[in-house]
A and B are shown apart, each in its own frame.
Chain A
């Protein structure tokens, strides 16, 4: 089967200590990563903080270009869902949702038609019309998640978004995500919850120090991750 997206020997490095008269120090975040993403699968990514998970997602979504190696995208439209969706704190939840929807490719009219659904799903009540700066973290996450489920890209990258909000909303969000997975949505899921990876994913990778340390069956990969903790 031909992969939707294929990463070949992908490496990425960030510059640190960038000042005048000082030599830049490079820091390798990903080193020679090989990864295929296939249509319809749910791929889990686990690893500790700073292992390079988020950078990997940024590469897959096309926000960053790798410094070495290459990424082949066979025409898939990729969307990254992250906890800190670029909300403007001074705009109301509604305005943020409309702008956010447009950013994801909706037309203004298209997203306005969906706005009631988004509002209802987010369960924000009248806060929906208040500036986002007055929201709690959980409320922000709810708004972000509600917005993100309205879109259906070819590949959905989910960065820790399922572990926010209260228990009730987490369960609701996870169920919605499952329904999406079930409808053959290709999903790449980053999570610190190994149980979640086990439950949701068909395949998993474990990243540490910028390389893939284990790949395959989620249960086995989780085992490797646990053993190295």
Chain B
């Protein structure tokens, strides 16, 4: 039999804080314990009806009908006109199988004690137990009318409809409870259960959320914004390029702000490099020659562009692991950001080169346009090599250690501080198979000799680099789901 009324209704009087002790056992459905506790309290408060009637109730629920009967008889002599006598006796008869007698007593109670809540609740519960559902509903309704100032009859009534599967009626009752007692959880959470049974999951959620967070959350609108879908199209490509550009700019900004000389380093660094080479090769070794500073700068600055990109890109995917594992962003973005970042940093150095060359008396003319394809080929070549290295390193991290060595080796073989024409002629063709050596020659031909570069070879390198780029990009696409794995493992 339901007993939700216990906690909600049997009100405590201020002097009777002690009653909390047995009530606690009743809430935990420890009926034997509660019967014992009430017996103890009966000694202390024999004049208080609760100690008797709650004790009887505990015995009934514990199934100790004999003890219940004895206690009812004792209580009868003490409180002859108390409605609980009739009600509890009716319950006892019901437990003993005497429904007729039970009903007679309840009818009497209903006539004599219509103002007493338990009269109606017990009548309803017993009617429900006997399968007379219409009658039970009527009694629950009476209970609600009898004590509209208490939540328990509403709860009992709604729970009755829940038990009998009349979800819509139950929802109505829960709503009444909600309106009268907005702070009680049942009105929301149990109503949500009913709504769920009716398949109204949205309403169910609204009910339970409004219990926990209050009604006002439904009025608030979010500042959220629908983001565009994952279609691959021009807008997606522009978005992607913009992403790379933005990140590269931000990286540069944060890098610059950490140094005292900030942007000054962009010029100072190539100058320092050049000074070192100049001192060693021109002053100490006397290996330079005519116009050695220009020769050196024209080789060094394009080389530094290449070198900076490669060394920044090599570990870029590993450094981007946080993003790869959380946003599912294509890994190619990381070497590309490093590329853009390193390239932007080299622009002042290139301007320095041109200014220096002109200051040294070399002519600036239309033949300088040939620099455009040279720079383009270097750009493609650098992207292709940088992205390839960046893709390999997550798989074999040990290669990180080889990158600086490889770059040094390549630098020595690119003829930055010497002219390749000075090496054995039979090795010269082999030497120019190093694309950087070839490109540096092109730069020098244009800048220092006002000559056209070897366009045939340049085109070959350009097409080769383009193919390599396309190939590397397709590898990145293919490895899209492999990179996050390899980074995690």
Residues in A lying within 8 Å of B, measured CB to CB: 14-16, 18, 40-42, 58, 61-65, 75, 77, 80, 82, 84-86, 88, 90-92, 95, 98-99, 102-108, 110, 114, 117, 121, 131, 149-153, 174-176, 178-185, 199-200, 202
Contacts and interface: CB of A to CB of B under 8 A. Distances in A.
Contact of A107 (B209, B220, B239, B254): B239
B225 A114 contact: yes
B243 A103 contact: yes
Contacts, number: 134
Given A82-B326, A103-B329, A151-B225, A77 B217 contact: no
B255 A181 contact: no
Contacts of A180: 222, 224
B252 to A, nearest CB: 11
Nearest to A110: B225
Contacts of A95: 250, 253-254
Contacts of B201: 41, 202
Contacts of A41: 201
Interface in B206-250: 206, 208-209, 212-213, 217-218, 220-230, 239, 242-243, 246-247, 250
A74 to B, nearest CB: 13
Contacts of A174: 213
Nearest to B223: A117
Contact of B224 (A14, A58, A99, A152): A152
Contacts of B225: 106, 110, 114, 150-152
A63 B328 contact: yes
Interface residues of B, number: 47
A178 B202 contact: no
B205 A202 contact: yes
Contacts of B218: 182
Contact of A182 (B217, B253, B322): B217
A108 B242 contact: yes
A102 to B, nearest CB: 5
B261 interface: no
A153 B254 contact: no
A107 B323 contact: no
Given A90-B254, A178-B209, A202-B205, A58 B484 contact: yes
B254 A105 contact: no
A84 B326 contact: yes
Contacts of A200: 209
Contact of A91 (B228, B250, B323): B250
A105 B228 contact: yes
Given A107-B242, A181-B209, 20 more contacts: A16-B489, A64-B485, A84-B322, A86-B327, A90-B254, A91-B251, A92-B254, A99-B250, A102-B239, A117-B223, A149-B223, A151-B224, A152-B224, A152-B225, A152-B227, A176-B222, A178-B209, A180-B224, A183-B221, A202-B204
Contacts of B132: none
A15 B486 CA distance: 9
A182 B481 contact: no
Contacts of A84: 322, 326
Given A18-B489, A88-B251, A150-B224, A102 B242 contact: yes
A71 B201 CA distance: 26
B209 A63 contact: no
A65 B481 contact: yes
Q: Which of A64, A121, A150, A178 has the most CB of B within 10 A?
A: A178
Given A15-B489, A86-B322, A91-B250, A104 B227 contact: yes
Given A15-B489, A64-B485, A103-B323, A179 B222 contact: yes
A77 B209 contact: no
Nearest to B229: A77
Contacts of B251: 88, 90-91
Given A18-B489, A178-B213, A182-B209, A102 B326 contact: no
